[in-house]
Amino acid sequence: KQEVTQIPAALSVPEGENLVLNCSFTDSAIYNLQWFRQDPGKGLTSLLLIQSSQREQTSGRLNASLDKSSGRSTLYIAASQPGDSATYLCAVFNDTGNQFYFGTGTSLTVIP
Amino acid sequence: GAGVSQSPSNKVTEKGKDVELRCDPISGHTALYWYRQSLGQGLEFLIYFQGNSAPDKSGLPSDRFSAERTGGSVSTLTIQRTQQEDSAVYLCASSFRLAGKDTQYFGPGTRLTVL
C-alpha cells in the first residue's frame, strides 16, 4: 500500500522567508502528484499537479518538484506571506487504482 | 462559478442514528470522490464514482457506510447506526475526467459529530 509522509509536521517562519516542504512516498509507480492547501474549516484547494513524466511545476511563488525514482517531492514557497499560513497536503495517485493517497500535511505559520 | 458544495456544513447526531451527507459536484464533472478526515489524521479515501461505471467502494470502512450518485451528479453518503469513531470531516471532490487525470476540486466538507 502506498504511504505518503510529510516533513515537517509544522513549520513557523518569519514573513519574507523562502521555505521548502517535503513529501515522500513509498511506491514510485505513480501517475501524478498533487499539492493542496487546506485552510481551517474549509476544503482543499489544489495548488499544483505534476504528472509522473514531469520534473516540476510552477505557479506564481510556488514551485513543486518531483523525483519519482526516489519517491520525493518538494514544494518551494518563495517570499512567504502571512496569507500563506495554512496546512499543505501532498497526494499521490498510483498507476493502478482509483484513489489519491494523502500525507498528513505540514501546518505552516508565516509570522508578520 | 459554482464549486463543489456540501450539506450540511455541520451535523451533530446521537450514537445509533443514521445520517445522510450530500455532495453537489461541479457541473459536467464525471468523477466524484468521498474522503474522510479524522482529527489529526490524513485524508482517508472512502468511495469513487466515475460516470455510469460501478463505484469503487474499496475505502468504505464498514457496511454501515454506503453512497450513491443519482443521475451522474449529486451524491449522498449514508452512515447507518453511527458510532463515535465516525466523527470526522467528510469531504467530497470532483474532477472533469477520469480519476487522477485532472485536478480535483474539493467541497468545504461536512463536520460530523457523533455524541
Q: Is the pLDDT of residue A44 over 90?
A: no
Neighbours of A68 (CB within 10 A): 20
DSSP B97: S
> Cell match 465516525: residue?
B86
DSSP reduced 3-state for B42: coil
Sort out which chain B residues have CB atoms less than 8 A from A103's CB and list them: 42
Between A17-31, A62-76, B25-39, B100-114, the lowest mean confidence (pLDDT) is in B100-114
Phi and psi based region of residue A104 (left: phi greater than 0; alpha: psi -120 to 50; beta: remaining): alpha
- Does the distance separating the beta carbons of A100 and B45 come in below 8 Å? yes
Size of interface A-B (CB pairs under 8 A): 61
Distance of alpha carbon A77 from alpha carbon A17, whole angstroms: 9
Query: Can you give the pLDDT at residue B2?
Result: 78
- Does the distance separating the beta carbons of A41 and B103 come in below 8 Å? no
Total residues belonging to chain B: 115
DSSP reduced 3-state for A91: strand
CB A21 within 8 A of CB A106: yes
Interface of B with A in 26-45 (CB under 8 A): 33, 35, 40-43, 45
Range among A54-63, A86-95, B65-74 with highest mean pLDDT value: A54-63
Nearest-by-CA chain A residue for B92 = A43
A31 touches chain B (CB under 8 A): yes
- Kindly report, residue by residue over B63-110, the tens digit of the pLDDT: 999 999 988 799 999 999 999 999 999 999 998 876 566 778 899 999
Q: Which of B85, B45, B49 is nearest to B64 (CA)?
A: B85
Chain B closest-CA separation from residue A85 CA (Å): 18
The band of B1, judged by pLDDT with boundaries at 50, 70 and 90, is low
Q: Is the pLDDT of residue A87 over 70?
A: yes
- Kindly report, residue by residue over B15-44, the tens digit of the pLDDT: 999 999 999 999 989 899 999 988 777 789
- Does the distance separating the beta carbons of A103 and B109 come in below 8 Å? no
Q: What angle do CA B56, A73, A7 make, to 5 degrees?
A: 95
Distance of alpha carbon B24 from alpha carbon A24, whole angstroms: 32
Q: Is the pLDDT of residue A23 over 80?
A: yes
Query: Can you give the pLDDT at residue B84?
Result: 95
Chain A closest-CA separation from residue B43 CA (Å): 6
DSSP reduced 3-state for A11: strand
Of residues A96 and B56, the one with the higher pLDDT is B56
Type of residue found at A15: E
Q: Is A92 exposed, middle or buried (0-12, 13-18, 19+ CB in 10 A)?
A: buried
DSSP B115: -
Residue from the list A41, A98, A102 with its beta carbon closest to the beta carbon of B48 = A98
Of residues A42 and B27, the one with the higher pLDDT is B27
Q: What dihedral do alpha carbons B36, B37, B41, B47 form, nearest 10°? A: 20
Chain A closest-CA separation from residue B103 CA (Å): 7
A40 touches chain B (CB under 8 A): no
Q: Is the pLDDT of residue A97 over 90?
A: no
